[in-house]
């Protein structure tokens, strides 16, 4: 369990999504939100201040990759379930938009997004050999609705046969670029493009 200091960062981004499972019929039509994500980081072990610099870790270093990912990949992205037929539409008709599609296992609810974000930030911190770990993440979908996920929760996302984007310390928000789904979609609709894509 983390002890002592806790650092907090907040970032804003615009996004769009739609939910198809039927639990929120109003949300089945694509629509957008201006969301805020607030993360709390804490030292993996109790680190005393050194009496000189007096920092656990420099703020800029701790949040650099995370905010770069939010700004460059998540901001203005379109969140879709991997089962959403729109994914196939974009693959076939607007492949240039693929880097803007954030694909989730099941509906891209705020709960699911919080779980993906927590895993992604954890991957970034491990890759940076940071002394910090993420203890909680809070996504405010609207000024009155927010979801908080604590890192002490059991793993909440389904297991996948490959390493999914949310567990990789790269700028990705989907696994479409190299997935079988893409080649299948291309091959079945346009064999010539499938050959070129290889």
The site for Zn ion (CB under 5 A) is made up of 27
User: Which among 111, 117, 106 has a CA at the least distance from the CA of 19?
Assistant: 106
DSSP tag of 73: I
DSSP tag of 114: H
> In angstroms, what is the minimal distance from the CB of 164 to Zn ion?
22
Nearer to Zn ion among residue 20 and residue 27 (C-beta): 27
> In angstroms, what is the minimal distance from the CB of 138 to Zn ion?
17
Q: Closest-CB residue for Zn ion? A: 27
Nearer to Zn ion among residue 29 and residue 152 (C-beta): 29
Q: CA 127 → CA 46, 68, 83, 158, 168, distances in Å?
A: 20, 15, 30, 22, 9
Nearer to Zn ion among residue 27 and residue 171 (C-beta): 27
> In angstroms, what is the minimal distance from the CB of 31 to Zn ion?
5
Characterize the bridge pairing of strands 77-81 and 101-104. parallel
> In angstroms, what is the minimal distance from the CB of 13 to Zn ion?
14
Nearer to Zn ion among residue 86 and residue 131 (C-beta): 86
Q: What pairs with residue 9 in β-bridges?
A: 39
Q: Is the dihedral of CA 35, 75, 44, 157 positive or negative?
A: positive
> In angstroms, what is the minimal distance from the CB of 82 to Zn ion?
18
Nearer to Zn ion among residue 74 and residue 134 (C-beta): 74
- Three-state secondary-structure class, residue 100: helix
């Amino acid at each position: 369990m983390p002890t002592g200091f806790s650092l907090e960062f907040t970032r804003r981004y615009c996004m769009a999504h739609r939910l198809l499972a039927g639990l929120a019929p109003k949300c089945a039509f694509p629509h957008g939100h201006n969301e805020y994500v607030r993360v709390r980081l804490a030292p993996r072990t109790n680190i005393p201040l050194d009496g000189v610099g007096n920092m656990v870790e420099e703020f800029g270093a701790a949040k650099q990759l995370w905010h770069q990912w939010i700004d460059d990949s998540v901001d203005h992205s379109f969140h879709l379930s991997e089962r959403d037929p729109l994914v196939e539409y974009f693959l076939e008709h607007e492949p240039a938009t693929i880097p803007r599609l954030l694909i989730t296992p099941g509906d891209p609810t705020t709960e699911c997004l919080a779980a993906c974000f927590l895993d992604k930030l954890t991957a970034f911190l491990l890759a940076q050999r940071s002394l910090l770990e993420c203890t909680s993440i809070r996504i405010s979908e609207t000024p009155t609705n927010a979801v908080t996920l604590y890192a002490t929760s059991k793993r909440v996302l389904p297991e996948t046969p490959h390493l999914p984007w949310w567990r990789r310390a790269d700028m990705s928000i989907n696994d479409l670029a190299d997935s079988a789904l893409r080649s299948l979609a291309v091959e079945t609709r346009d064999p010539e493009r499938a050959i070129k894509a290889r």
